Amino acid sequence: MNCSCWVIFEIITTIALIAGLGFAVWQIFMTKRGNNARVAVELFRELRSPESKNTLRFIYSLKPEDVTCLYNSTNPGNPYNNNEIDSLLDKFDMLGALVDDKIVADRLAVEAYAGTGAMRCWYKLYAYIILERRKRGFFVENYEIFTRRALDYFDNHHMKIFFYEGGSKNITGEEPLNLINEIGKSNFCPRTKRQIEKERHQNNERCFGCPLSKPVPYYY
């Protein structure tokens, strides 16, 4: 075999190798997308389950003084159990991660999955989440980012999200709260991903050189 034949053979072999690697990468990518799609569908079902709806109703009925009871729910004799609430927050957090990775589109997540529920839960559970973060450190940040996405989405599309503190208007006669205004103009407005990352960086700079046994409080 002359030199030119060897060159042609090497070119063909290289092309075949590249094509094989490309096909393998494509298969991995499609498998990952399929797995993520299944996770997204299952999450949609879980957020629409009777258990999740019951937890949402319980959260909406909470009073400000109930937050302390939730935070201390592990104490003996405390009638509150926050396992169901934490489970729902975990689902919101997973949805936020799927949106951030562009597995689920913003519009689909906000309008079809849990945009309104996420905002109403944030309004009722913000104080509880802060207390838990002081104890745990990292806690449902993807949920916070998703809630901010939902807030901006509804605001940009001129959509109102109402919430009745005391139940239905027909029962209490009260006017509903417009959560776009209540949350957007409050001191507990959820942060964007960029704001969270900036605060992490600032906290890490303050903590640089500190003994590991006495870390600077991570969040607030």
96 and 163 inside one domain:
yes
pLDDT tens, residue order, the chain (220 aa): 555 665 565 566 556 555 544 444 434 344 445 656 777 788 888 888 999 999 998 898 888 878 777 766 655 555 556 888 999 999 999 999 989 988 888 888 998 888 999 999 999 999 999 988 888 888 999 999 999 999 999 999 999 999 987 655 555 567 888 999 999 888 889 999 999 999 888 877 665 554 443 443 333 3
Q: Are residues 24 and 86 part of one domain?
A: no
What sign has the CA pseudo-torsion 44, 155, 177, 145?
Answer: positive
Same domain, 26 and 100: no
Would you say residue 214 lies in a domain?
no
CA distance 65 to 123: 14
Same domain, 52 and 22: no
Are residues 172 and 80 part of one domain? yes
How many domains does one find in the chain? 2
52 and 135 inside one domain: yes
Residue 2 placed within a domain: no
In a shared domain, residues 52 and 28: no
* 64-68-69 Cα angle (round to 5): 105
Specify whether the CB–CB gap between 62 and 120 falls below 8 A: no
Residues 17, 56: contact at Cβ < 8 Å? no
CA distance 219 to 130: 8
List Cβ neighbours of 174 (8 Å cut-off, separation of 6 or more): 164, 165, 166
Q: Which domain holds residue 23?
A: 7-35
- Which one, of 153, 148, 141, 152, lies nearest residue 111 by Cα? 153
DSSP secondary structure, 125-192, as one string = HHHHHHHHHHHHSS-SHHHHHHHHHHHHHHHHTT---EE-TTS-HHHH-PPPEEHHHHHHTSTTPPPP
